[in-house]
Structure 1
Amino acid sequence: MRRHLLTWTLVAAATLAAAPTSAASAPVRPHCPRLAGDWYGDNRARLQQVIDAYGTCAGDPGRTHPVAAFDWDNTITKNDITDATISWALRHDELLRPARWKDTSAWLTDAADQALTRACGAGTPVPLRTSDNARCTDEILEIRENARTMSGAPAFAGTWNHRRTVPQYAWVPQLFAGRTPAELSSYAAAARREALASPIGATRTLGTHTIPAYARYYDQQRALIRTLRRAGFDVYIVSAGSEPVTEVWSRAVGIDAAHTIAIRSVLDRHGRITTWNQGCGDVPATRGAAIPYIDGKRCWINQEVYGIHGAAAWEKQPAARRPVVAGGDADTDVTFVGDATGAHLVVNRDKAELMCRAYDDADGRWVVNPMFIEPLPRRPEPYPCSTTAYNAPDGSHTPLLRDDGSVVPDQADTVY
């Protein structure tokens, strides 16, 4: 497994601990790289203050490189690059038929196994003819999108930690079992070219499913990443997608494979993808129990960026061992975005737990921006923060609590 380690000295820790407690208190440093782009309200200025306060351009020779970390799908790009890759693979017959669909996921139900077998077949690992088999395409997409079969039966069942994984996310790289990472990268590259060439708003119909046919890099986020890197930040991507897919897209914003963290498949002795994923913290390799998802994103950052291993990788770390800037758009990002010490950047996609944290703004460092392309309308009713916003490990939805144990009150949607 790759290790992306930063050595944090006592001098660096002391320096970061002494950094301004509020971005608003940071002095203006005109020699630091300047963030450009059209941002909501005063968001650009607030982000610039954090860059000025924490970046190596601040002129402190004892300071090590601060860290910034971002989700990918719908945070750096508009639309989901994993879905674009699946779409391309389905239309070009690049998925291999498994011997048994049940073997593709630890949680796949008998109903899903039977539905996939009826629609797609099973047996020898030959390419599935999904390009002209709408029933097979429909079953795969419905399970990926909604965790159910086309007949409405649950596709996954059993026990898992709902803050560490979600079976239909883990299932995506498992669908590519038998292919090599290089092959999966080539599918992602073809899908990327196609999605970037399609006009904004374009859709595509696969079976009975209508999905976005386009994707775009957000210019504002590209500018932010570029500015952070020029200011001395080490910038990472942490995604719940498949790592070979994410790497294809992240390199275009100057982020290499060593700084791209996503679901990492275990390879067989021939270098082919298996249905097993690498583990995090004290969780070993499994069929998807610990992916970069909600608390899993914290674990993977702690492990791969800061070299924290074992059970401690799941725990919130001291400020010197947390990202300064973190950004995301969904509940899957809420833990690591909340860990940031300088700015919690949120792209508003109407996700309850994340937006409750953002609008509650307990530390005054939450920066909320509408989607840069096709923003959502205002949510008509308040977010149910006080009742059901928290995604509990057992899958239930409970009141969202602050660090002091108080309940976050319901929040109105004000940035859209």
Structure 2
Amino acid sequence: MRHRQNRRNPHILAWTLAAAALQAAAPPTTTPAPSKCPRLSGGWYGDNRAHLQEVIDARGTCAGGTGHGRHPVAAFDWDNTITKNDVTDATISWALRHDKILRPARWKATSAWLTDAADQALTTACGTAVPVGAPLPTATNTPCTDEIFEIRDTGRTMSGAAAFAGTWNHRRTVPQYAWVPQLFAGHTVPELSSYARQARAEALAAPVGSTRVLGTHTIPAYVRYYAQQRDLVRTLHRAGFDVYIVSAGSEPVTEVWSRGVGIDAAHTIAIRSVLDRSGRITTLNQGCGGVPANRGAVIPYIDGKRCWINQEIYGVRGAAAWQRQEARHRTAIAGGDADTDVTFVGDATGAHLVVNRNKNELMCRAYDDADGRWVINPMFIEPLPRKQGLYPCSTSARTAPDGTLGPLRRPDGSIVPDLADTVY
């Protein structure tokens, strides 16, 4: 049985009851005019659609507001937030099945953290017969495809050895995510965009629930835009919001998909590769928050998503971009599905939309609902079953910059208790 979470804390509930009592004692008034703002449609869980509509009505330019002198902003993660399944994986799958990965001079040069074990596994599996810079025959070389995809998917080699090691800020990057655009080094942006378009057509044509075999891995074959999220983006645009995508995927790939919901390249933020003089992708990516171009140390990941939003949308430069900004320099609505989204989703001032994929830190924040503005929705297609047991909020929900796990704390320092999964 599904249970609706109580999204209001006791103080808000008491205020609401008191206001209701005063209203009951007051003389009758005329019914307020209907909102001029566009209306959300589609099936949402519980009162989620109404809650989001309240924010649209209050913040949209359609209601006469200007969002503190500018259009209000909404920002969303992409993979498994706007779409069901991962468009980066769909693109990698297509590229591997069509021999689009170019052989690097040394695999270790593709990432600052790639281990000797991963370098050896990739060199052994993919061979050295192909000239440097030429396409690897991954369509027929199953071991090579397996090693590349396993490292991307799990951060380990097919033998189980760690593929990445060293020191990085675990709230600013994860090497296997940063490795994806690095895998496409040597290609131009138009080439990568072309691969993404072909992968998109293939994934949208595949039946819901279908899988394919990639090497020896079984992976989803299909991707779908969530109808409710597409409608939400459309409604936000009509209500006067500037809507952005903020993804930890490769930007040319994300741009191909974001156009499908009416979001252009200027409003799509993802990992931005540095190009060489001939316009080809390198293993460097652009920096944020005072960090210069780097080999994957700063990407739109956990706190990195806040940094990129602050820098690219609100013009906050330097170290200040890593900090939560005042309300007028924060989004009105933000949405995500994973721990990589927890910081920027929590920064929203009107609604924190969460698609439940049972991710500890994000779901602990959502179920704790400290400000009464968290909106939790099951996945719109093939939702996950209820998580068994409690989320470990009080012990190991939060990832520290050094990668260790610890308790999740509220802004006042108190620890969030372990919480049950009730929206599924």
Q: TM (normalized to structure 1)?
A: 0.93
Find out whether 1:50 has 2:55 as its counterpart: yes
1:110-125 alignment, distance < 5 Å: 110-122=116-128, 124-125=132-133
What is the CA distance between 1:410 and its match in structure 2?
0.5
What is the CA distance between 1:58 and its match in structure 2?
1.2
Find out whether 1:91 has 2:97 as its counterpart: yes
1:312-331 alignment, distance < 5 Å: 312-331=320-339
Task: Choose from 74, 80, 95 the match for 2:80.
Answer: 74
Query: Where in structure 2 are there 5+ consecutive unaligned residues?
Result: 1-11, 20-31
The aligned amino acid for 1:53 is A
Task: Choose from 117, 134, 137 the match for 1:129.
Answer: 137
Identity %: 78
Deviations, residues 34-60 of structure 1 (Å, cap 9, x unaligned) = 011100000000000000001011114
Task: Choose from 306, 311, 319 the match for 2:319.
Answer: 311
The aligned amino acid for 1:341 is T
Matched residue SS, 2:290: coil
CA-based RMSD of the aligned residues comes to 1.4
What is the CA distance between 1:353 and its match in structure 2?
0.1
Aligned counterparts of 1:315 and 1:28: Cα–Cα separation in 2: 40
Does the 8 A contact of 2:189 with 2:281 survive in 1? Answer: yes
Does the 8 A contact of 2:59 with 2:65 survive in 1? Answer: no
Find out whether 1:32 has 2:37 as its counterpart: yes
The aligned amino acid for 1:379 is K
Query: Where in structure 1 are there 5+ consecutive unaligned residues?
Result: 1-20
What is the CA distance between 1:264 and its match in structure 2?
0.2
Partner of 1:299: 307
Aligned counterparts of 1:337 and 1:295: Cα–Cα separation in 2: 11
Partner of 1:354: 362
Partner of 2:8: none
Aligned counterparts of 1:187 and 1:161: Cα–Cα separation in 2: 31
Aligned counterparts of 2:244 and 2:330: Cα–Cα separation in 1: 12
Deviations, residues 130-176 of structure 1 (Å, cap 9, x unaligned) = 00000000000110011011111100000000000000000000000
Aligned counterparts of 2:325 and 2:69: Cα–Cα separation in 1: 19
Moved over 4 A (4+): none
Aligned counterparts of 1:354 and 1:59: Cα–Cα separation in 2: 33
What is the CA distance between 1:208 and its match in structure 2?
1.3
What is the CA distance between 1:252 and its match in structure 2?
1.1
What is the CA distance between 1:64 and its match in structure 2?
2.0
What is the CA distance between 1:191 and its match in structure 2?
0.2
Partner of 1:41: 46
Task: Choose from 280, 284, 287 the match for 1:276.
Answer: 284
What is the CA distance between 1:104 and its match in structure 2?
0.2
Does the 8 A contact of 2:178 with 2:296 survive in 1? Answer: yes
Aligned counterparts of 2:411 and 2:298: Cα–Cα separation in 1: 24
Per the alignment, do residues 294 and 28 of structure 1 end up closer, same or farther by CA in structure 2, a change over 3 Å counting?
farther
Deviations, residues 181-215 of structure 1 (Å, cap 9, x unaligned) = 10000000000000000000010111111100000
Partner of 1:402: 410
| Range moving further from structure 2, 120-129 or 331-340 | 120-129
Partner of 1:414: 422
The aligned amino acid for 2:40 is L
Deviations, residues 368-414 of structure 1 (Å, cap 9, x unaligned) = 00000000000010100000000110000000000000000001000
The aligned amino acid for 1:48 is Q
Q: Provide the aligned length of Structure 1 versus Structure 2.
A: 394
Does the 8 A contact of 1:97 with 1:121 survive in 2? Answer: no
Does the 8 A contact of 1:69 with 1:327 survive in 2? Answer: yes
Partner of 1:228: 236
Does the 8 A contact of 1:28 with 1:52 survive in 2? Answer: no
Matched residue SS, 2:253: helix
Aligned counterparts of 1:59 and 1:215: Cα–Cα separation in 2: 37
Per the alignment, do residues 58 and 91 of structure 1 end up closer, same or farther by CA in structure 2, a change over 3 Å counting?
same
Matched residue SS, 1:211: strand
Does the 8 A contact of 2:207 with 2:222 survive in 1? Answer: yes
Aligned counterparts of 1:60 and 1:48: Cα–Cα separation in 2: 15
Q: TM (normalized to structure 2)?
A: 0.91
What is the CA distance between 1:63 and its match in structure 2?
4.2
Does the 8 A contact of 2:156 with 2:162 survive in 1? Answer: yes
